[in-house]
């Protein structure tokens, strides 16, 4: 993929979680704090059991890709309530405390991917438009970009929660139509080969896999991938 083809794009699209920031790590640490809080309240409930049960609950709860319009607090309250119920434990005051524990820990552990901020700043300086297309509750994703300090560099933030479609169910096409973005005007980056890359390409977007564990390949249009945001910035700024 030649440098001019990428640099000529007027819109740069990004997934959010685990593309621009370390969501899995922050969420895992926040969940651990929740489990510890429950264990402290009831010593009979082991952290190992809580972890296993929550993993199952989380897998089932995120199956709809957050397309039903509820808030992050509603989702989390439902999940934590289910977790307590699976352990035969019910405590309304504790449930509300768990919401605070999770949010505070998540805030403390939010971390941008290396080079993400500088790339967004560079795009802004060069007059490029940035759109974040992500799955998740709208309120949580808006809160996340604000806490990460990247909101000033994002022109449009769109979530499955507000559109009512998942990435596998036409989200990309709906968003481009809503914001009048032609497919040849945008390049999209994401960390998930299926939900980001295949879904975006299926709707005509030029999509690039962000994978820090792999190699960079910008020659094969059907397998574009980068392993760092510094690489993308080098292409944009220096044409390397």
**Can you name the CATH fold of 3-22+111-237?**
Rossmann fold (3.40.50)
Residue 182 burial (C-beta neighbours within 10 Å; 0-12, 13-18, 19+): exposed
| Integer angstrom CA distances of residue 149 from 145, 152, 220, 230 | 6, 7, 34, 19
Q: What is the mean pLDDT of residues 37-53?
A: 93
What is the structure's pLDDT at 84? 93
- Residue 194: alpha-carbon gap to chain centroid: 14
User: Between the CA of residue 134 and those of 130, 168, 194, what are the distances in Å?
Assistant: 13, 12, 13
Arithmetic mean of pLDDT, 127-140: 94
pTM > 0.85: yes
Q: How far is it, in rounded angstroms, from Cα 110 to Cα 60?
A: 24
Confidence grade of residue 218 (pLDDT, cut at 50, 70, 90): confident
Residues 143 and 148: their CA atoms lie apart, in Å, by: 9
Residue 2 has pLDDT above 90, yes or no: no
pLDDT tier for residue 235 given thresholds of 50, 70 and 90: confident
Sheet strand arrangement including 225-226? 156-159, 129-134, 11-14, 186-190, 206-210, 225-226
């Amino acid at each position: 993929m030649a440098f001019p083809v990428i640099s000529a794009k007027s819109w740069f699209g990004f997934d959010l979680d685990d593309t621009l920031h370390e969501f899995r790590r922050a969420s895992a640490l926040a969940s651990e704090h929740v489990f510890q809080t429950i264990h402290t309240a009831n010593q009979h409930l082991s952290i190992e059991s809580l972890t296993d049960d929550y993993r199952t609950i989380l897998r089932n709860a995120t199956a709809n890709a957050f397309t039903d319009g509820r808030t992050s607090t509603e989702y989390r309250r439902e999940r934590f309530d289910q977790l307590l119920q699976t352990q035969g434990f019910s405590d309304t005051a504790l449930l509300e405390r768990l919401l605070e524990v999770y949010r505070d820990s998540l805030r403390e552990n939010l971390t941008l991917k290396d080079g993400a901020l500088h790339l967004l700043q560079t795009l802004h300086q060069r007059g490029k438009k940035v759109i974040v297309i992500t799955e998740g509750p709208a309120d949580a994703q808006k809160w996340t970009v604000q806490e990460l300090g990247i909101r000033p560099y994002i022109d449009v933030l769109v979530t499955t929660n507000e559109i009512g479609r998942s990435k596998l169910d036409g989200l990309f096409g709906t968003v481009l139509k809503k914001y009048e973005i032609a497919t040849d005007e945008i390049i999209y980056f994401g960390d998930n080969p299926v939900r980001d890359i295949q879904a975006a390409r299926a709707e005509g977007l030029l999509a690039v896999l962000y994978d820090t564990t792999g190699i960079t390949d910008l020659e094969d249009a059907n397998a574009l991938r980068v392993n760092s945001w510094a690489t993308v910035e080098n292409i944009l700024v220096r044409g390397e």
